[in-house]
Chains A and B, each alone.
Chain A
Amino acid sequence: MSFDVRLRINDKVASIELKGELDASTAGRFHDVIDEAAQLGAIELVIRAENLTYLASAGLRSLVVARQKMGDEVRIAVVGAAEPVARTIRLAGFDHSIDLVDA
């Protein structure tokens, strides 16, 4: 199972592109990139999930960490999540704190 994560920063907007399967064995890499975005002072975090094919609870924990590190004032959006991925985010109740866009 493959997983790839890429970070781009533009005008304090951090864009993280996820590709493949995000589970307990790969979440550490996502975690590291979130750390990097927080340290760079991002004021908005956009997670591109169009190519994220699988999301386990370990990935959800990374979203909690993102919220903890970046604070309430930072908007976090997950964009383009496929239905099963969006379902997992909603089932966990994370859609109250994270914007699900085009999902």
Chain B
Amino acid sequence: MAFDSVSASEGGVRAVSGPAGRVRSEACVRYEPEWPPLTVATATAITVPAELAELDRVAEFVLRLGGQAGLADSALYRLRLAADELATNIVMHGYRDIPGGRVSVAGGIEADRVWVRFVDDAPAFDPRQGMRAPDRDMPLEQREIGGLGVYLAFTSVDTFDYELVAGRNVSTLTMRRSSAAGVQDSAPAQEQRRRTP
């Protein structure tokens, strides 16, 4: 799949815009030639059934995107981890007991960042609210492990934003391309803690 276009056969692209943009409307919006181009590089998207077996496709999408953006291995791993945990959360919790759900994953490369955006129609929920930092003093066998995946996602990328747009959950992960030069692992988490109430 080329990253300079979105195939109509991939379908269901509902949210394609720069990270500063917003999802346009509830109506399905196709990526068309007259769509305002991103400042730099590319945007693309896939839509997959909300099933664990589809996590591989999400991972492949993100790895290819981050690879094209030139992210260093460490940053690429963290972006994939965050996307994987978010997708898993949507499948396991968002669409729990709701068959037939679908998840749209859009991504883009800009001059200074790579972004990945998830859109789903599960009941409204900000995944960050389910985040729980590990209690390191608690013996492992007594740990509450719910919320760990979102915590890993939150601390792996530079920003993790959520909006409810026209009834849809829209979560956006971004990774600075400067991360390719190698940032401290703790930097994203520290920055995000400052940015998020």
- Chain A residues within CB distance 8 Å of chain B: 1, 21, 23-25, 54, 56-58, 60-61, 63-64, 67-68, 71-72, 83-84, 87-88, 91-94, 96-98
Contacts and interface: CB of A to CB of B under 8 A. Distances in A.
A67 B138 CA distance: 13
B141 A56 contact: no
B81 A98 contact: no
A94 B148 CA distance: 11
Contact of A57 (B52, B53, B85, B91): B85
B140 A94 contact: yes
B3 to A, nearest CB: 20
B139 A72 contact: yes
B88 A23 contact: yes
Given A91-B155, A96-B140, A83 B74 contact: yes
Contacts of A64: 140-141, 143, 145
A6 B134 CA distance: 29
Contacts of B84: 23-24, 56
10 contacts: A23-B88, A24-B88, A25-B55, A56-B88, A57-B152, A61-B148, A72-B139, A91-B134, A92-B134, A96-B140
Interface centre among B80, B92, B135, B148 (most CB of A within 10 A): B148
Contacts of B59: 1, 21, 23
Interface in B99-158: 134-136, 139-141, 143, 145, 148-149, 151-152, 155
A24 B92 contact: yes
B145 A61 contact: yes
Given A23-B59, A57-B148, 16 more contacts: A1-B56, A21-B59, A24-B52, A25-B52, A25-B56, A54-B81, A56-B149, A58-B88, A60-B145, A60-B148, A61-B148, A63-B140, A64-B143, A84-B81, A92-B134, A96-B140
A91 B153 CA distance: 11
B185 interface: yes
Nearest to A27: B52
A83 B76 CA distance: 13
Contact of B81 (A1, A24, A56, A83): A56
Contacts of B141: 64, 67-68, 71-72, 97
Contacts of A88: 81, 152
Contacts of A24: 52, 55, 84, 88, 91-92
Interface centre among B74, B78, B81, B134 (most CB of A within 10 A): B81
Nearest to A96: B136
Contacts of A83: 74
